[in-house]
Amino acid sequence: MAYSYKGSISFGLVYIPITLHAAIMDNSISFKLLEKKTKSRVKYKKTCVDCAEKEIRNEDIIKGFEYEEGKFVLFDEEDFEKIKTPKDKSITIEQFVYLNEIDPIYYDKAYYVVPTGGEKAFQLLLEAMAEEQKAGIAKTILGNKETLILLRSKDGQMLLNTLFFSSQIKKNPCKDIQEEVKASELKLAKSLISQMSAPLEIESYQDEYKKRLEHAIQEKIQGKEIISASHEAEPKITDLMDALKASLDEYSAPKKRIVPPKKKERPRANA
- pLDDT score at 1: 58
Q: What is the pLDDT of residues 142-155, one digit of tens each?
A: 877 889 999 999 99
- What DSSP designation does 235 have? P
Q: Does 230 or 92 have the greater pLDDT score?
A: 92
Q: What is the number of other CB atoms lying within 10 angstroms of the CB of residue 126? A: 21
* Beta strands 135-142; 91-97: pairing state: antiparallel
Q: Percent of the chain, pLDDT > 70?
A: 91
CA distance 12 to 128: 14
**Spatial CA neighbour of 49 closest among 33, 74, 70, 30:** 70
* pLDDT band at residue 23 under the 50/70/90 scheme: very high
- pLDDT score at 71: 92
Instruction: Label residues 222-256 b or e (16+ Cβ within 10 Å = b).
Output: eeeeeeeeeeeeeeeeeeeeeebeebbeeeeeeee
Domains of the chain: 1-25+72-167+183-192+244-271 (2.40.290.10)
* pLDDT tops 50 at residue 72: yes
* pLDDT tops 70 at residue 62: yes
- pLDDT score at 256: 47
Q: What is the pLDDT of residues 29-56, one digit of tens each?
A: 999 999 999 999 998 888 888 887 788 9
State the average pLDDT over residues 22-31: 90
Residue 181 sits at φ, ψ, to 5 deg, of -90, 130
* Mean pLDDT for all residues in the chain: 86
Amino acid at 16: I
- pLDDT score at 270: 47
Instruction: Label residues 55-91 b or e (16+ Cβ within 10 Å = b).
Output: eeeeeeeeeeeeeeeeeeeeeeeeeeeeeeeeeeebb
